[in-house]
Amino acid sequence: MKSLVLKDKKNFFVFPSSPFHFDGTFHKPSHYPDKLTDWGVGKYWQTIRIGKRLFGLKIENKGETQKPKIKVSVFYDKDVSEKELETIKEEIIWRFDLKADLKKFNKLAKSDKRFYPIFKKWLGMRNSSAHNLYELLIIAVLLQNATVRRTVQMTDALLNNYGMKLKFDGKDIFAIWLPEKLNNVSEQNLRGLKIGYRAKFIKRLSQDFTEDKIDELKLRTLDQENAKKELMKLYGVGPETARILLFEICHQYNTFDHIAPWQQKIYSQLFYKKSLVPVNKIRDDIKKQYGDYSMLAVHYIWEDIFWKRKHEKIDWLEKEIRL
């Protein structure tokens, strides 16, 4: 695997909309562990592609909930142009939804007697994606029909063969390859990395992205229905993968439509303290209560339980998370 050392850096500040929750936004404990990001309280690292160039990012909390401010350090080799810095800034603002207006949502949360303590704790948290559409698509495909351990294995195998390791700020953070990199890699070679039938999906998706068949910037401007339609055209994207992409890439807050069996078990415990509630009931209840913010509301409650899991053993949850 190749690596790149980034020695120089430039920095700028971003002022997210208020209120803002830094750690809730930049770290999602429900996600499977990967080498693509790193996090500590008030600090966060990732890589980012701008065009064909790679940069390292360190993002630090320099503000407060009601007075948000973050510092972004951009690590580079050779140089970084003003235009690239501006693009990076805009990308960060989009990917982490830093300018979101959550007034209505926060008002809704306040009237929710049952879960208000959770909403209050994470006040200002955003749904976010560290990655661009292609990158998150790859991750989503690796999640399909696999347990966490297997997903981690597949991700590592792919990164070790086609990814790039960036060394900056004393960290080793990985970047996902460009789609075109897989064009002259055979499906058989990919299968050699034990990713199974997903090799076919990844080949075809990479081909489509190489040929610019998908316009991520345009996708961001579409309404939910049309964005979903576009995403479902992609090979290997069904209802669950579309939901992930709509929520994390497009910041569509009301995407609580598809519920997978393993999620159903966790929702049943979270919302009803029962082992299994019918998915239609779960969906109807949530939609009725949270309306246009169905998925965002669930996201707060979902991440909260995974934060707890970091330092507290939750027996029923351990059973449902298949490692």
Partner DNA sequence: CATCAGGGCCCTG
Partner DNA sequence: CAGGGCCCTGAT
Is 321 among the residues that bind DNA (CB under 7 A)?
yes
> CB burial class (10 A; 0-12, 13-18, 19+) of residue 292?
middle
Nearer to DNA, 76 or 300 (CB): 300
Count other Cβ atoms within 10 Å, centred on residue 260. 12
Nearest approach, Cβ of residue 315 and DNA (Å): 14
The neighbouring-strand residues paired with 64 are: 67
The neighbouring-strand residues paired with 23 are: none
Of the residues 57, 70, 176, 237, which one makes contact with DNA according to CB under 7 A: 237
Nearest approach, Cβ of residue 265 and DNA (Å): 8
Is 200 among the residues that bind DNA (CB under 7 A)?
yes
Element (H, E) at 245: helix 239-248
Nearest approach, Cβ of residue 125 and DNA (Å): 17
Is 235 among the residues that bind DNA (CB under 7 A)?
yes
Is 280 among the residues that bind DNA (CB under 7 A)?
no
Of the residues 99, 239, 278, 284, which one makes contact with DNA according to CB under 7 A: 239
Mark residues 103-142: x for contact with DNA by CB under 7 A, - for none. ----------------------------------------
> Of 20-79, which residues contact DNA (CB under 7 A)?
30-32
Q: Take residue 226 and report the two structure tokens written for it.
A: 């049309």
Nearer to DNA, 103 or 194 (CB): 194
Of the residues 73, 196, 207, 210, which one makes contact with DNA according to CB under 7 A: 196
DSSP letter at 183? T
Of the residues 40, 51, 170, 261, which one makes contact with DNA according to CB under 7 A: 261
Is 222 among the residues that bind DNA (CB under 7 A)?
no
Angle ∠(262,267,268) on CA atoms, nearest 5? 100
Element (H, E) at 82: helix 82-95
Rounded Cα gap, residues 84 and 77, in angstroms: 13
Nearer to DNA, 109 or 205 (CB): 205
DSSP letter at 35? S
DSSP letter at 63? S
Angle ∠(45,48,53) on CA atoms, nearest 5? 135
Residues near DNA (CB under 7 A): 30-32, 143-151, 153, 191, 194-198, 200-201, 234-242, 260-263, 321-323
